[in-house]
Chain A
Amino acid sequence: MSSDLYREQIIDLYENPLHYGSLEEPTFTYEEDNPLCGDVIRIDVELDENNRVKSAAWSGDGCAISQAAASLLTDDIMGKSLDDLRAYDKDEILEMIGVPLSMMRVKCALLCLKVLKAGAYGLPEAVVLRGTEQ
């Protein structure tokens, strides 16, 4: 029996993630874990003077779904505005993943979005290293 969930792209991203690492001078950085499974994701974002994403990086540990989603999301946000980041919808992530997920696995896929949004909204926990006009 083949796997419906673990298609080539997911495994490719698990082996060779996109934008994995950290940034020297992020505008904001945020980290969150899923206490139920221990998955953890951190996202660094650097905005340019127009509040658009100049670079982004992620790091963390978790299942192939959470890791692939983080790769896809950090790739997708390049050039987007802060408002765009704040407006991301969960369906956009699920569409990027491209395979139907069970309720439990949806949480894996959406951890990166939670992290990105928490950072983009500048929650108190987010470390704002370089002030931006908002």
Chain B
Amino acid sequence: MYDVQKVRADFPILNVEAHPGVPLVYLDSAASSQKPLAVIEAMNNYYRTYNANIHRGIHQLSEAATEAYEAARGRIAAFIKAPTAEQVIYTRNATEAINLVAYSWGGANLKAGDEILITAMEHHANIVPWQMVAERTGAVVRVLPVTADGFLDMGQLPELLTEKTKMFAFMAVSNVLGTINPVEELVAAAKRVGALTLVDGAQAVPHQGVDVVGWDCDFMAFSSHKMCGPTGVGILYGKRPLLDEMPPFLGGGDMIRRVTFGGSTWNDLPYKFEAGTPSIAEGIGLGAAVDYLTELGMDNVHAHEQKITAYALEALSEVDGLRVVGPQQASQRAGLAAFTLKGVHPHDIAHILDEDGVAVRAGHHCAMPLHKECLGIPATARASFYVHTTTAEIDQLVKSLHRAQRIFRI
């Protein structure tokens, strides 16, 4: 039995008031999640009791730090069902993970006329790196459209995913539409034409059990800070032969085997892609976040979010002039609702909600082409849910939306 009040007690920030006397209703987890005490303590403990650089010292602190950092990698690998920890590369965030693949794999393998397929619902992080490598190599970026009801237009896939396609990069879950994409089906389609796949898992890994072997994707990227972990660390998973073949991304310490002034040779996986001192406390913190989510159980997390999403869609449907973008059924979407409200601009919604302590995001959510070219609106307001969200918080959201309407005389 999932006890949301017990979960809430794990998050110190939920006791903080948004304004004096106004409790915080945090509905912006899709932008960045809050951190449970266990994560904060794990990082704190590293700094307080065994802070040292990793992979080089032979003193006790360095050994302890290295062990904790590498143990975290192992638990993160297990969390996404990666076959080995060496296939789990620490990056700065999901964005850097995608850039790593675009730069390293793309730079070495793409040539003029090759095609990269992305989708119209992508976050800028899965658009811009491909545009940059296309610019450098002469490859072409093509875009799989989104249907009016917020799904990938599968009817157009055969025309866009062809023998020319070398990479199909797509998100598992949309951060705006909430759409849960059919990852396995998309990967299978890519394999039929010999294209590689990169899955942007930033909105999936925090909210559902993910199995990269089951997905059979070639690469998968996600960020720690959206899954109860700290900022400053993300993960790139990749299939071993591909990672082995790929040239390094950044050069420096830790990623080399031997350096001479005549040239250098590269370290083994995963270190080949991890130049310089990494975010050690953050890696350890992500390990603690994975432990925390594992203990809650990802099936329970997903079920809780489904329940909240269904409740929210129902409650929001009763607000006049409010339109939720994306699939209309809770079972077809993840735990967020981006919406417009007739007569009130999203910025004004977010501002008025904030006066009531309700934190939502307003804008294009780093998906400018989706808003402008597909939805035909400049911005939406987005409420996003997580492990600690309650139905009472959804009620407060709706109450505040009614207040926004009153202020705007609607």
- Contact residues of A with B, CB < 8 Å? 1, 3-6, 11, 14-15, 35-40, 61-65, 105, 108
Contacts and interface: CB of A to CB of B under 8 A. Distances in A.
Contacts of B364: 37-38
B293 to A, nearest CB: 31
Interface residues of B, number: 21
B351 A39 contact: no
B379 A11 contact: no
Contacts of A35: 368
Given A63-B347, A63-B348, A3 B407 contact: yes
Contacts of A65: 347-348
A38 B371 contact: yes
Contact of B351 (A5, A15, A36): A5
Interface string B372-398: 100000110000000000000000000
Contact of B409 (A4, A15, A37, A38): A15
Contacts of B356: 1
30 contacts: A1-B355, A1-B356, A1-B403, A3-B355, A4-B355, A5-B351, A6-B348, A6-B352, A6-B407, A11-B409, A15-B409, A36-B363, A37-B362, A37-B364, A37-B379, A38-B363, A38-B364, A38-B368, A38-B379, A39-B347, A39-B378, A40-B378, A62-B345, A62-B347, A62-B378, A63-B346, A63-B351, A64-B348, A105-B347, A108-B347
A38 B364 CA distance: 7
Contact of B378 (A5, A11, A38): A38
B408 interface: yes
Contacts of A61: 378
Nearest to B379: A38
A38 B380 CA distance: 10
A37 B363 contact: yes
B345 A64 contact: yes
A105 B345 CA distance: 13
Contacts of A1: 22, 355-356, 403
Interface of B: 22, 345-348, 351-352, 355-356, 362-364, 368, 371-372, 378-379, 403, 407-409
A121 to B, nearest CB: 26
Nearest to B363: A37
A14 B345 CA distance: 10
Nearest to A64: B348
Given A37-B378, A63-B346, A65-B348, 7 more contacts: A1-B22, A6-B407, A37-B362, A38-B371, A61-B378, A62-B345, A63-B351
B407 A105 contact: no
A55 B371 CA distance: 34
A78 B347 CA distance: 29
A83 B356 CA distance: 44
A105 B352 CA distance: 12
B408 A14 contact: yes
A70 to B, nearest CB: 13
Contacts of A14: 408
Contact of B352 (A3, A36, A39, A40): A3
Nearest to A37: B363
Query: By CB atoms of chain B within 10 A, which of A36, A39, A40, A64 has the most?
Result: A64
Contacts of B408: 6, 11, 14, 64
A37 B352 contact: no
A15 B348 CA distance: 14
Contacts of B379: 37-38
Contacts of A108: 347
A61 B403 CA distance: 22
Given A35-B368, A37-B362, A37-B379, A63 B345 contact: yes
Nearest to B378: A38
A93 B316 CA distance: 36
Closest 3 CB pairs of A and B: A38-B378, A63-B347, A63-B345
Given A6-B407, A35-B368, A64-B345, A105 B351 contact: yes
A52 B191 CA distance: 67
Contacts of B409: 11, 15
A96 B149 CA distance: 43
Nearest to A35: B368
A65 B346 CA distance: 12
A62 B363 CA distance: 11
Nearest to A40: B378
A105 B346 CA distance: 13
Nearest to A14: B408
